[in-house]
Amino acid sequence: MSISTIVKFFIACIAIIGIHTKVVAQEKEDPPALKTNRADENYEYLKDEDSNPYKKGFGDALKHINLNNSKSIYLTLGGQYRPRVEHFTNKNWSTEDETFYSQRLNVHTSLNLGKYVRFFGELYHGYTSNEEQSPETDAIDWHQGFIEIKFIAKENNNLSFLFGRQEMTLGASRLVGNREGPNIRRTFDLGAIKYKHGNTTAKAFYGKEVSPEFEAFDNDFELFNGNSTNPEIWAVGAQFPIKNLNGTNELYYLGFRSKAAGFNDVFGEEVRHSVGLRRFGMIGKKVSYNTEVIYQFGDLDGSTISAFNIETDWKYVFINTTWRTTIGLKLDWSKGDNEAGDGKIQTFNPLFVNPAIYSLASVNTPANLTSFHPNVTVYPAEGFSVYMDYALFYRTSSDDGLYTPPRFQIREANGITEKHIGDAIGLQIMYEFNRNISFDLRSTYFIPGKFIKASGDSESIFYIAPTLSFKF
């Protein structure tokens, strides 16, 4: 073989390697996951196909509908259809069984007028075959409808003002959650300021919870109505890292006013202030943590409020296993009232917590509650997870009763000293076919404890809810 032939051979090999490297370098990633709050999605990357780093996703044609030649004005369309079958055996510890169908249908649009202004609107429809489940129904209404004005619009530095009807969460949703579990999600009429700079984010807002009605377009905008009974909320908070300290920190203040509130033996107008500190993150590659401490103070019909909540959630991942496995332990301690009629209220108020925080069965909520949750999650295949949880629930104070989501007492203490509410076995099976279609099966078996047996109906509760979700 001649030297020239050898040289040509190596040149050809180099060329092939170069072409292969170029192809690998140009290989695109999967498109971003669809967000829980669809208003947070950003499809600016679809503006230029050549610079788009993602593979083609289902529904991309609806995500960046250009309305001008420069593509700076565009429309985004999306939505969800979520059918579910729910079954209760011995609902609320009674002998009543119940099976019904429910569905959620929502569509949204985002009109982007350049980099600095956008309008977002979302319509919701909720239906259930059980007429008693009225909070789960709404013929059709504006779930969200707001304007966002950006004063700074850079990738890692932005400042915006939002006004109108919108979803809002705070912290780990211990006090303000979007109510994803039930058929109709929670929304607020409010004004908000959001700021992001690098790894630091901050927000401040004031608003009122939307009280859902059941007919078409009858959920009134009550933000400026001084006579409305809708609970008010105002807050300021920030997430930020601290140099040389592992994890992310969150500090917030949250105000709340309700004209009709009740804890233990006190009922009336409530003004409650909450100060929260949260730390979350990873320790190495195997350990995650999420710890939140909340102190509340204020006034309820002349009684002084002083309440605490502590929650911590730790998880450990076994990486080198056939099925990736995670074990976890969640602990929750929420203060209860010490003594009736003493002019003081120590019951923690979970405010707008997600009612599915301890299962869709919505048996209890973190008010006068001490709970322990050992759990394990396995991942048999990509997109497939099985979560199992065993929870033990106790009343923190024997002088206070039992509360149901979001913050209502369902059983009084009545001098019962037993604290054990009961134990719950939870199971959640999730499978994501792709980013648009997923299946979720949640089930709870609640075994009543001595307090439940001493205070009324005490049958074991079984709940199961297979759910299918299609998003675009």
- At the second CATH level, the architecture of 31-471 is Beta Barrel (2.40)
What does the pLDDT look like over 37-87, one tens digit per residue? 999 999 999 988 888 999 998 999 999 999 999 899 999 999 999 999 999
Residue 4 has pLDDT above 70, yes or no: no
- Using CB atoms within 10 Å of the CB of residue 4, give its burial: 0 to 12 exposed, 13 to 18 middle, 19+ buried: exposed
350 phi-psi bin (left φ>0, alpha ψ -120 to 50, beta other): alpha
What does the pLDDT look like over 172-193, one tens digit per residue? 888 998 888 888 899 999 999 9
Do residues 422 and 456 make contact, with C-beta atoms less than 8 angstroms apart?
no
How far apart, in Å, do the first and last CA atoms of the chain sit? 60
**% of the chain surpassing 90 pLDDT:** 77
Do residues 137 and 103 make contact, with C-beta atoms less than 8 angstroms apart?
no
Return the beta strands (E) in 90-215 as ranges. Answer: 98-113, 117-128, 138-154, 157-166, 188-197, 200-209
Structure token pair of residue 155? 């990738």
Partners of 14 in the β-ladder? none
Residue 433 has pLDDT above 90, yes or no: yes
pLDDT at 19: 45
pLDDT at 264: 93
C-alpha 136/C-alpha 182 separation (Å) is 7
Residue 138 has pLDDT above 80, yes or no: yes
C-alpha 189/C-alpha 83 separation (Å) is 27
Q: Please, which residues have CB within 8 angstroms of residue 381's CB and are 6 or more apart in sequence?
A: none
C-alpha 97/C-alpha 133 separation (Å) is 14
Consecutive H or E run containing 271: strand 266-283
What does the pLDDT look like over 329-382, one tens digit per residue? 999 999 999 999 899 999 999 999 988 888 878 888 999 999 999 999 999 999
Distances (CA, A) of 84 to 126, 422, 440, 442: 11, 27, 9, 11
Q: pLDDT confidence of 9, banded at 50, 70, 90?
A: very low
Q: Which of 136, 232, 131 is nearest to 184 (CA)?
A: 136
What does the pLDDT look like over 306-326, one tens digit per residue? 999 999 999 999 987 788 899
What does the pLDDT look like over 388-419, one tens digit per residue? 999 999 999 999 999 998 888 999 999 999 99
Provide the residue ranges of all domains of the chain, joining segments of one domain with +. Answer: 31-471
Can you tell me which residue has the tokens 């009550």? Answer: 222
C-alpha 300/C-alpha 448 separation (Å) is 31
Residue 10 has pLDDT above 50, yes or no: no
Confidence (pTM): 0.89
Q: Which of 42-56, 138-152, 274-288, 373-387 has the lowest mean pLDDT?
A: 42-56
pLDDT at 26: 57
Q: Please, which residues have CB within 8 angstroms of residue 411's CB and are 6 or more apart in sequence?
A: 401, 402, 451, 452, 455, 456
Q: Please, which residues have CB within 8 angstroms of residue 284's CB and are 6 or more apart in sequence?
A: none
Residue 5 has pLDDT above 60, yes or no: no
Average pLDDT over residues 119-148: 90
Average pLDDT over residues 27-36: 90
pLDDT at 134: 65
Higher pLDDT, 15 or 359: 359
What does the pLDDT look like over 181-232, one tens digit per residue? 888 899 999 999 999 999 999 999 999 999 888 889 999 999 999 889 999 9
pLDDT at 133: 62
Question: Mean pLDDT across the chain, nearest whole number?
Answer: 91
Q: Which of 25-29, 59-63, 167-171 has the lowest mean pLDDT?
A: 25-29
Q: Please, which residues have CB within 8 angstroms of residue 253's CB and are 6 or more apart in sequence?
A: 235, 236, 237, 273, 274, 275, 276
Residue 385 has pLDDT above 50, yes or no: yes
Do residues 100 and 86 make contact, with C-beta atoms less than 8 angstroms apart?
yes
pLDDT at 171: 78
Do residues 189 and 164 make contact, with C-beta atoms less than 8 angstroms apart?
yes
Q: What are phi and psi of 421, to 5 degrees?
A: -80, -45
49 residue type, one letter: E
C-alpha 297/C-alpha 271 separation (Å) is 9
C-alpha 326/C-alpha 316 separation (Å) is 5
Q: pLDDT confidence of 170, banded at 50, 70, 90?
A: confident
C-alpha 279/C-alpha 272 separation (Å) is 23
Q: Which of 70-79, 127-136, 244-253 has the lowest mean pLDDT?
A: 127-136
Exposed e or buried b per residue across 19-38, where buried means at least 16 C-beta atoms within 10 angstroms of its C-beta: eeeeeeeeeeeebeebeeeb
What does the pLDDT look like over 418-428, one tens digit per residue? 999 999 999 99
Average pLDDT over residues 18-39: 72
